[in-house]
Amino acid sequence: MLVENNFEIKKLTSFKIGGKIAKMIFPETVEEFVRALRENEGAFVAGNLSNTLVSSNDFDGVVISTSKLNSIKIEGNRVTAGAGVRGPKLSQTVGEKGLSGLEFMIGFPGSVGGEVYMNAGANGQCIADSLKSAKIYCLEKGLVTLTDLEFGYRTSICQKKNYIVLEAEFELTPSAGVKEKMEENLAFRKAHQPSLALPNCGSIFKNPEGHSAGRLLDECGVKGLSVGGVKVWENHANFIVNYNDGTSEDVVRLMREMQKRVKEKFDIELKPEIRFLGEEL
């Protein structure tokens, strides 16, 4: 399997932020992946790095990428995808077969494993709605197939127990209008979210119960607020964009300021939706 030392991870992150990774591994099969996990206990598992703020300082550890676990198998209305399959590719592939359930994946750059881990969702759909089972690696039992992943808002059992997703099986519904729904989702995104030409990491904070993080932040006047090379996007206050070669430290400082303002004005603690590698809030 491919192993790269001193890997420049910045080129793979949607934020275009991140230092060098001491050892980056790209397993090509589930067996190789399990071997890499066993040989590198505590390694960070990376999907498409569209929800992770990677430290701009070099990281003296191991990162294992799912990017080469990219097979898709369709049998009737069941589809099995490797953890590294890109959401838009999966959405497009099942959409062409008229299968509904994954239209939401079309417009953002996650991988299947990262999306299961996060219970990603958009436009009224989420992973939990159609996931039938997942092939998981866990330290205690090795490879297991789980049907209940204890999904909640942007969370799953994988976050609590450090489970690694290797494959996911979805049960979809044959339906008319799947392509139209995907087009609608894409149009919504164009109108409301920054494209990756402005490097970003999706929504920065989770919505607190009963509130929209974007609205709270907007009312605190943070749009356009900048630290170093990053700023709060002018069109949506829950996005930070890296407009001028910003660093992870810039992002963290800006996030703290955003949290502080919302706490002072509304007495609400914003919790990050993004994940961290070698950096903390």
**Active-site residue set:** 154, 203, 273
Q: Give me the phi and psi of 62, to 5 degrees please.
A: -115, 135
102 binds ligand FAD (CB under 6 A): no
CB 263, min distance to ligand FAD, A = 24
Q: Give the amino acid at 38.
A: R
Phi and psi, residue 53, nearest 5° = -90, 110
The one among 82, 101, 113, 246 contacting ligand FAD by CB under 6 A: 113
11 Cβ contact partners less than 8 Å away, ≥ 6 residues apart: none
Binding of ligand FAD at residue 56 (CB under 6 A)?
no
Q: Is 66 in the site for ligand FAD (CB under 6 A)?
A: yes
In whole angstroms, the minimum distance from the beta carbon of 64 to ligand FAD comes to 9
Kindly write down the DSSP assignment for every residue of 177-212, as one continuous string: THHHHHHHHHHHHHHHS--TTS-B-S-SBPPPTTS-
Q: How far apart are CA 167 and CA 113, in angstroms?
A: 7
Amino acid, res. 273: E
Does residue 50 touch ligand FAD according to CB under 6 A? yes
Nearest CA among 46, 75, 249, 268 for reference residue 172: 75
**Choice from 47, 82, 214, 278 touching ligand FAD (CB under 6 A):** 47
Written as six digits, the tokens of 61 are 């550890």
Does the protein bind ligand FAD through residue 55 (CB under 6 A)? Answer: no
**CB nearer to ligand FAD: pick between 184 and 266:** 184
Q: Does 201 bind ligand FAD (CB under 6 A)?
A: yes
DSSP H/E element including 126: strand 125-126
Between 113 and 246, CB nearer to ligand FAD: 113
Residue 254 near residue 32, CB atoms below 8 Å: no
| CB of residue 119 to ligand FAD, shortest distance in Å | 8
Contact with ligand FAD (CB under 6 A): which of 202, 214, 246, 278? 202
Tokens of 140: 């205690």
Pick the piece of the chain touching ligand FAD (CB under 6 A) from 18-26, 45-53, 179-187, 260-268: 45-53
In the set 108, 151, 170, 205, which binds ligand FAD (CB under 6 A)? 108
User: In angstroms, rounded to a whole number, what is the distance separating the alpha carbons of residues 128 and 131?
Assistant: 6
Report how far apart, in Å, the C-alpha atoms of 264 and of each of 55, 236, 272, 279 are. Answer: 28, 20, 17, 25
Tell which positions 178-197 bind ligand FAD, by CB under 6 A: 193, 196
114 binds ligand FAD, rule: CB under 6 A: yes
Residue 46 found at the interface with ligand FAD (CB under 6 A): yes
- Cβ nearer to ligand FAD, comparing 52 with 261: 52
Rounded alpha-carbon distances, angstroms, from residue 202 to 5, 81, 174: 28, 23, 30
The residues that touch ligand FAD, with contacts defined as CB under 6 A, are 14, 44-52, 66, 83, 108-111, 113-115, 117-118, 120-122, 158, 164-165, 193, 196, 200-202, 275
